[in-house]
A and B are shown apart, each in its own frame.
Chain A
Amino acid sequence: MSPAALKDAALTALVALALFAPLVGLRTDVAPAGGLYLRQRWDDVAILVALAFAARLALLAWRGQRRLPTASTAPGWWEAPLRRLGALAAPLLLAVAVLLPLGAFSWDLGAFAIPAVTGRYELDLGILVLTYVMLGWGLNIVVGLAGLLDLGYVAFYAVGAYSYALLATHFGWSFWLCLPLAGILAAFWGVLLGFPVLRLRGDYLAIVTLAFGEIIRILLVNWVSLTGGPNGIGGIPRPTFFGLTFSLSGGPGTFAGFFGIEPDPSHRVVFLYYLILGLALLTNWVSIRLRRQPLGRAWEALREDEIACRALGINITVTKLTAFAIGAMFGGFAGAFFATRQAFVSPESFTFIESAIILAIVVLGGMGSQIGVAVAALVMIGGFELFRDLQEWRMLVFGAAMVAIMVLRPRGLVASRTPTVTLTGRKRAISGELVGEGHG
């Protein structure tokens, strides 16, 4: 330990002391008699300061050993193996996703008897992760492909959820009729939002979309006669398997009755699981197909350079609006699914944090990478589940992780791009560092 490093760490500790002493050391509590009093917690401050000191020393030691500066953008040693792994990851993940619900049942295959390995909890978690995968892929169209930073994506999720909730409870329309309607309505809102913000760029666009998301939420909270206000809408009909309900009675007209099997509550969960898996794969398929079409190429061109796009005669208005509309449509689908799965929607599910989580998934996954988004959703929502008991701490960790990922790996997990079109016909991955982004 050099004296300089020690001095630096001591300074860090001093700053940490000043930062933590008022907010951690003195906690404001409401006294039983009313009014506030301060509760002192100096031991926590001491721990935090010691941690800051140790962390700074460790950082300095680590930095001293490395030859490259921290801000280096050179590809690390992990990129090549990761890329090779990436080629395997997609089919592997898909196989696991498809086979997961089968583990919920015990199978009797003559010689073998496989017991049920996954329970209700795993399936529910799988549904949650897949919902976020779908939302991530939907937002990826707007942010990753078209380069339009959207901080209000949750608004379309909300539009989809409330569309289904209202249509199903007021008119009794079935899920399969409402699903496309929810998507269309969300797409309509996407165009409605997209139209006025066509001229905005980058972070201005981000703030306006954030404002839009908040406006939708405030409307949901306050328009009590339509949305039920903070109490939300309950009793939303469950989806049916082409008209067959998942009732436990097992009579005719139910899923179990029709197929002549024992009624089981896990049938509905498995059905919901495959439903969201199908929807997510649809999103993925559509975005992959669109990338090869002129429209998708226009999106990517728009992301790289809007001015060059205009110069080449690409219709910016149409390009941006379709990105908003298609992204919003998938958000609406996911929303309708969310409503039917929960059987209850309330504005609480559609806060800004939700938008931030979806955006974090897209960014962490490496914007524009389909597999990256799926992995990021798995890591993030799975990680969230792991920290479930920690309550408010997990949002703290989430915020810190978001900063840390940006600082350490601003291009996300999968930072390379495969060009959609090439001159020679040979595809090579391009490092994310080489492509511009976010000016659109």
Chain B
Amino acid sequence: MSASYALQQLINGISLGMIYGLIAVGYTMVYGIIGMINFAHGDIFMIGAFVSLIALLLLGAGAGLEGPAALLLALPFAMAITALHGWTVERIAYRPLRGSFRLAPLISAIGMSILLQNYVQVSQGARVKPIEPVLAGGIEIARFGEEVVTLSWIRITIVLTTLCALAALTWLVTRTPLGRAMRACEQDLKMAALLGIDTDRTISLTFVIGAALAAVAGAMYLLFYGVIDFFIGFVAGVKAFTAAVLGGIGSLPGAVLGGLLIGLIETAWQAYAPQHLTPYKDVAAFSILALTLIFLPTGLLGRAEVEKV
């Protein structure tokens, strides 16, 4: 295993980790605000990937647009449609259950996840959807003797888009009235409501933002793998949740950090584990989840939760 191979894997791991981080942000925001695991978030991500795919095909067939221009138009479209899905899901399945016993929203979310998965299976078919590379080529960044490490445009796009999305999110959370309302709701939902914050609206918008970021992740996933199907949301969702837990649930930088770690571990496993162990890369992610929860329940950047009686 040469240095060029290692560098290439590092690039792959970072791109994949960025995608996981974007999904993890959605989990962590919702958990921070209403303390529930939005089990359907992985499927919202899958819907984002599908809407991006459809938008790209539509732009390609209808307007003859391809490459970066198509991507630039498809991304906002996918974000808008997916955000609407996120809003609808919250409105239908979670809002009526606010104040109900604790397991109710989780079970409703599991139902929603099954519903969304099968909705896409019925409407789009169960077959995998391959797509031709949207962006071709790349730039050469390093040379080790004969071996060349290229940084493909796709990887660059993934990292840059993710960074832009995260920067926008940071700005939104720290500098806008909405962000302030979100942070207030996260600290104390009841107190925030008493002080005149429309908590229902804030929670709705949290779901909308989470879903929009999941749509970006979905589009990036489509670029990264070049193939999607209706089932990608489940495994990606569990991995992103692992990332959120690893980083400390409720912490936005933690979610991104956790995502990067999960992406790097997964890529390293795939690249360096013995041949017969590579199918177990998902086991690695699941085991990290269990180990983190057992030995480091607050995650890397999370706060300890004190239960008052």
Contact = CB atoms under 8 A, between A and B. Distances in A.
Given A28-B54, A199-B297, A219-B283, A214 B102 contact: no
B129 A149 contact: no
A402 B107 contact: yes
B124 A23 contact: yes
A401 B293 contact: no
B51 interface: yes
B122 A393 contact: yes
B113 to A, nearest CB: 7
A210 to B, nearest CB: 7
A207 B241 contact: yes
Among B99, B125, B126, max chain A CB count under 10 A is at B125
Given A15-B88, A436-B101, A437-B102, A407 B93 contact: yes
A439 interface: yes
B107 A307 contact: no
Interface string B80-111: 01001100100011001101111111111011
Contacts of A38: 54, 57-58, 61
Contacts of B103: 149, 202-203, 363, 437-438
A218 B113 CA distance: 21
Interface string B239-259: 001100100000000000000
A439 B122 contact: no
B31 to A, nearest CB: 9
B66 interface: no
A309 interface: no
Contacts of B88: 15, 19
Given A28-B124, A37-B57, A356 B110 contact: yes
Contacts of A218: 279-280, 282-283
B123 interface: yes
Interface residues of B, number: 69
A26 B47 CA distance: 13
A407 B107 contact: no
Interface residues of A, number: 63
A432 to B, nearest CB: 8
Contacts of A24: 123
Contacts of A360: 107, 111
A98 to B, nearest CB: 32
A400 interface: yes
Contacts of A151: 110
A208 B61 CA distance: 44
B280 A26 contact: no
A214 B61 contact: no
A212 B124 contact: no
B279 to A, nearest CB: 4
B141 interface: no
A412 B132 CA distance: 48
Interface in A126-178: 149, 151
A22 B55 contact: yes
Nearest to B114: A399
B93 A26 contact: no
B101 A438 contact: yes
A214 B102 CA distance: 24
B268 interface: no
Nearest to A395: B118
Contacts of B293: 197, 200, 204, 207-208
Among A35, A36, A212, max chain B CB count under 10 A is at A36
Nearest to B103: A438
Interface in A275-307: 307
A406 B283 contact: no
Nearest to A206: B106
A37 B127 contact: no
Interface string A25-54: 011111000011110000000000000000
Contact of B107 (A28, A70, A363, A400): A363
Contacts of A149: 103, 106
Nearest to A41: B123
Contacts of A22: 50-51, 54-55, 81
Interface of B: 36-37, 47, 50-51, 53-55, 57-58, 61, 81, 84-85, 88, 92-93, 96-97, 99-108, 110-127, 129-132, 234, 238, 241-242, 245, 279-280, 282-283, 286-287, 289-290, 293-294, 297, 307, 309
11 contacts: A23-B119, A30-B127, A36-B53, A204-B293, A207-B37, A208-B290, A392-B126, A396-B122, A398-B118, A406-B111, A437-B101
Given A23-B50, A363-B103, 5 more contacts: A28-B53, A36-B57, A197-B290, A396-B121, A402-B108
Interface of A: 15, 18-19, 22-24, 26-30, 35-38, 70-71, 149, 151, 196-197, 199-200, 202-204, 206-208, 210-212, 214-215, 218-219, 221-222, 307, 352-353, 356, 359-360, 363, 392-393, 395-396, 398-403, 406-407, 410-411, 436-439
Closest 5 CB pairs of A and B: A402-B111, A399-B115, A399-B114, A211-B286, A406-B108
